[in-house]
Amino acid sequence: MTVKQCSQCQEGFYCGAGDKSGSCWCVAFPPIMPLVFEQDCFCPTCLSEVINDRIILLVNEKGMSHVQILAEPYREQSGLIEHVDYELKENLYIYSAWYLIKQGKCCNNSCQNCPY
| pLDDT at 11 > cutoff 90 | yes
Structural domains of the chain, count = 1
Q: What is the pLDDT of residue 18?
A: 61
The band of 16, judged by pLDDT with boundaries at 50, 70 and 90, is: confident
Q: Is 116 inside a domain boundary?
A: no
Instruction: Return the closest-CA partner of residue 42 out of 83, 71, 94.
Output: 83
Name the percent of the chain in helix, strand, coil, to the closest 5: 35, 15, 50
The band of 34, judged by pLDDT with boundaries at 50, 70 and 90, is: low
Question: Is the C-alpha dihedral spanning 62, 51, 53, 96 positive or negative?
Answer: positive
Q: pLDDT higher for 61 or 23?
A: 61
Q: Is 51 inside a domain boundary?
A: yes
Q: Is 3 inside a domain boundary?
A: no
Strand partners for 89: 92
Q: Is 37 inside a domain boundary?
A: no
| pLDDT at 36 > cutoff 70 | no
pLDDT (tens digit, 9 = 90+) per residue, 52-110?
A: 888 889 999 999 999 999 898 888 877 888 888 999 999 999 999 999 999 888 889 99
Q: Is 9 inside a domain boundary?
A: no
The band of 5, judged by pLDDT with boundaries at 50, 70 and 90, is: very high
**Which domain, by its residues, includes 77?**
42-102
Angle at 18 between CA 74 and CA 7, to 5 degrees: 75
pTM equals 0.75
| pLDDT at 22 > cutoff 70 | no
Q: Is 47 inside a domain boundary?
A: yes
Q: Is 17 inside a domain boundary?
A: no
Q: Is 98 inside a domain boundary?
A: yes
